[in-house]
Amino acid sequence: MLVLLPPSETKRPGGVGVSIDKLAIIWAALDPARVEIFSRLDVLLESPETAIRSLKLGKKPDHALEAMATLQTSPTMPAIERYSGVLFEALDYTTLSEKAKTRVERQLFIQSALFGLLPATEMIPDYKFSATAKIEGLSLKSLWNQAHEAVWPRMVGPILDMRSESYRALAPIPPRESYFVEVLDAKSGRALNHFNKKAKGAFARKAMELGIESVSDVPEIAKAAGFKAKLDGHRVLFIIPPGF
């Protein structure tokens, strides 16, 4: 079974001195979409004020502007190490066993708004570009939806989709054996935010350590991660207890 994660808005800086202009990122079918975004970013970055607004770079945008201006020549690191938000802290890739890291290479994928679908160990630079970024004259949803049509058939096996709604919308999985995850509070039954990400990271960690072959493995893996999981058709519900 394949496990699909969203990226993180926060990222670790640095990397090794091998940039993406020296690397061939997997799935050449996605290259035209990547080139289209990169070329439009080059134009957008000519006006820093417009770029800050369009890319939602916040009140201290200098680092993000520099990262975006040097995308194709800056150092890289594996995506699963680059992302540093709550989900990836809970997953804690560097402390996984060697067997789990081997599963990561085969089974774990991340959806990026800038690069498209990525194996978790793909080398990427630091960047600031989310699913809600706006580039005038470009629909990210249309661009990535069409680009991924050639990629989904190459994904062999069922998919556990733990992406957020905004990233699922960028590249919906076509009809096949896939399951999307919702994270709910055990007491209120309401959707969670911070603990949503923590639960997904904790589950992904246990899935890689214990192994996941089919959706029937999900409840036992969730139990090991500290919560319950229920299967509801093509939905998987993570039920998070108080104090998780």
> Which residues is 180 bridged to in the sheet?
161, 235
Per-residue pLDDT of the chain (244 residues; tens, 9 = 90+): 999 999 999 999 999 988 888 777 888 899 999 999 999 999 999 999 999 999 998 888 999 999 999 999 999 999 999 999 999 999 999 999 999 999 999 999 999 999 999 999 999 999 999 999 999 899 999 999 999 999 999 898 999 999 999 999 999 998 888 999 999 999 888 877 778 999 999 999 999 999 999 999 999 999 999 999 999 999 999 999 998 8
User: Residue 176 has what pLDDT?
Assistant: 85
The burial class, CB within 10 Å (0-12 / 13-18 / 19+), for 244 is: middle
CA angle, 126 then 139 then 52, to 5°: 45
User: Residue 41 has what pLDDT?
Assistant: 94
pTM score, whole prediction:
0.94
Name, in order, each residue with C-beta under 8 angstroms of 60's C-beta and a sequence gap of 6 or more.
none
First to last CA, the chain: 26
Rounded Cα distance between 31 and 160, Å, is 25
Rounded Cα distance between 193 and 98, Å, is 31
Domain boundaries, the chain: 2-240
User: Residue 194 has what pLDDT?
Assistant: 74
